[in-house]
Amino acid sequence: MALRSGLEAKILIIGCGISGIGAAQKLIKHGFHNVRIIEATSRSGGRIKTGRLGCNIVEIGANWIHGPSQENPVFRLACHYQLLDKEAMSEENQSVDIGGHPPFVANCFTSSGREIDPETLGPAMELYTTVLGKCQDFYSSGEEPLPSVGEFLKKESIRMAHEEWKVDPGTMELRLALLTTLLKLECSISGTHTMTDVGLGAFGMYKTLPGLDCTFPGGYEGLIQHMMSELPKDIVLYNKPVKCIHWKNTHNQPTSKGRTCPVKVECVNEETFEADHVIVTIPLGYLKKHQHTLLSPPLSLKKLHSIQRMGFGTNNKIFLEFEQPFWDENCKIIFFLWEDESDLVDVVSDVKMAWTRKLIAFTVVTPKERFGHLLCGWIAGHESEYMETLSEYEVLHAVTQLIRRFTGNPTVAPKRLLRSQWLSDPYTCGSYSYVATGCSGYDIDTLAEPLPLVGSDAAEPLQVLFAGEATDRSFFSTVHGALITGWREADRLISHYSPLSGELTSKL
């Protein structure tokens, strides 16, 4: 028996991150009243997660609104809920366009405990920005001279350095060491183990928006709380990890209203929920790990291959609080340069012994009046994954040794530490997606394609839909990308029912 009206459709959203919340908000606004969110954990927000270190608010997951300007829906929402400070909302801030890489005021220390003046290193920063720009340009030109960003960055930087810099060997080595540090930092930005895993041809597919990246003074989770407050109170079923989505379900019993639903969602605790449509917003890391069991019938080879090909790495933060700063008043970022690393290699050969070699950049958390002397260290890749296995005490000890070596100050010591452990999170299994070597936008589109696939003989269309950060071609790896995909899948269902439901169209 068919639905009386599209608005009666039973819609289940799996995952209560921003994409799931965004999808629910849009569907409810359009009059769908059988919408539920099933969430594995006891909280909403997913990778938007605000924590505490002492009396400081710290972001364990997403940090910034990337490109806070009118085109960014997260910025628009944050303004609407009045969650940003004046400076972030100013026209001036919104119009800054620096392609996602802000010009940082940096302090640079080396492994022999020297501080290097910025003028010595300035040309290396400029060269790096130029070569990174070249990497991004290959997307529009359709060329791919090498398979990965890492290979191109290394080859082109070394070529240009030797061609352009007429300096003494010592300065040359230091500048190349800074390029190695910047390459390691790029691993954190892309969320990958090594830039050799990031595809060159598709690198420029990621779109930056204008606006100088800003933070939420009260914490990113404030955005989630405001969005949740607009949804019905009992919409989320917490602590219900989904084990399997049974679609094309011809064996379901008719519901009390005498109708069969094509999808049955089975949770780990054996509870089941029936639905006409399921929107899956589960992170790609989880999909990779459970790709053969999450759906029954299983995913098609085409979709499986895209899930396998797409990249999903680990980027973690290590927050360190100090009694006194060892950095300059206006410093925004601290770089550590290993003097024996002028080879532009971004991986560590002995991860267990030398994982801290990947911890090369610390952003200064500002404003000082609010946060005191707080740094956020960035570490990506297998070195970051190994760090997750250590105790907090072991991490603190290793990081203290590292900082003492680079500052040449044997007494400097962080008084508190907090680190994230995104690989160990069983419902995320890493940090965020990237377009890996051999991948293209086609893989992202394939991941986003609803089931059953168009042209298949299944009677009920749009049984399983896919949203989440990894399903957006332009803004993957971001909060705004995730939100846009939730809205996209809600819109897909809205337009699916629009021609059938007068009730629905009258509300649009």
For ligand 6YU, the binding residues (CB under 6 A) are 14-20, 38-41, 46-48, 61-64, 66, 189-190, 203, 206, 241-242, 281-283, 286, 315, 317, 420, 422, 427-428, 431-432, 468-469, 477-479, 482
Angle, nearest 10°, between helix axes 18-29 and 479-497?
Answer: 30
Min dist CB 162 to ligand 6YU, Å, is 26
Between 9 and 12, whose beta carbon lies closer to ligand 6YU? 12
Strand-pair category, 11-14 with 277-280: parallel
Min dist CB 211 to ligand 6YU, Å, is 12
Distance, CA of 332 to CA of 335 (rounded, Å)? 10
Q: Is 483 helix (H, G, I), strand (E, B) or coil?
A: helix
Between 107 and 420, whose beta carbon lies closer to ligand 6YU? 420
Between 24 and 62, whose beta carbon lies closer to ligand 6YU? 62
Strand-pair category, 311-313 with 50-53: unpaired
Distance, CA of 64 to CA of 42 (rounded, Å)? 24
Between 115 and 266, whose beta carbon lies closer to ligand 6YU? 266
Min dist CB 242 to ligand 6YU, Å, is 4
Min dist CB 80 to ligand 6YU, Å, is 17
User: DSSP H helical segments within 290-350, as ranges?
Assistant: 301-309
Quote the tokens at residue 118. Answer: 């910025």
Between 21 and 174, whose beta carbon lies closer to ligand 6YU? 21
390 DSSP assignment: S
8 Å CB contact between 466 and 177 = no
Between 18 and 179, whose beta carbon lies closer to ligand 6YU? 18
Show contacts of 131-138: CB within 8 Å, 24+ apart.
Answer: 131/156, 131/157, 131/160, 132/101, 132/186, 133/99, 135/200, 135/203, 135/204, 136/99, 136/203, 136/204, 137/204, 138/200, 138/201, 138/203, 138/204
Min dist CB 292 to ligand 6YU, Å, is 14
Min dist CB 386 to ligand 6YU, Å, is 17
Between 40 and 179, whose beta carbon lies closer to ligand 6YU? 40
Between 339 and 445, whose beta carbon lies closer to ligand 6YU? 445
Min dist CB 459 to ligand 6YU, Å, is 27
Min dist CB 500 to ligand 6YU, Å, is 29
Min dist CB 200 to ligand 6YU, Å, is 11
Between 40 and 161, whose beta carbon lies closer to ligand 6YU? 40
Quote the tokens at residue 507. Answer: 């509300």
Distance, CA of 452 to CA of 246 (rounded, Å)? 12
Between 20 and 377, whose beta carbon lies closer to ligand 6YU? 20
The Cα-based distances of 276 to 129, 250, 297 in angstroms read 49, 12, 16
Min dist CB 187 to ligand 6YU, Å, is 11
Q: Is 222 helix (H, G, I), strand (E, B) or coil?
A: helix
The Cα-based distances of 352 to 139, 273, 406 in angstroms read 37, 45, 20
8 Å CB contact between 356 and 169 = no
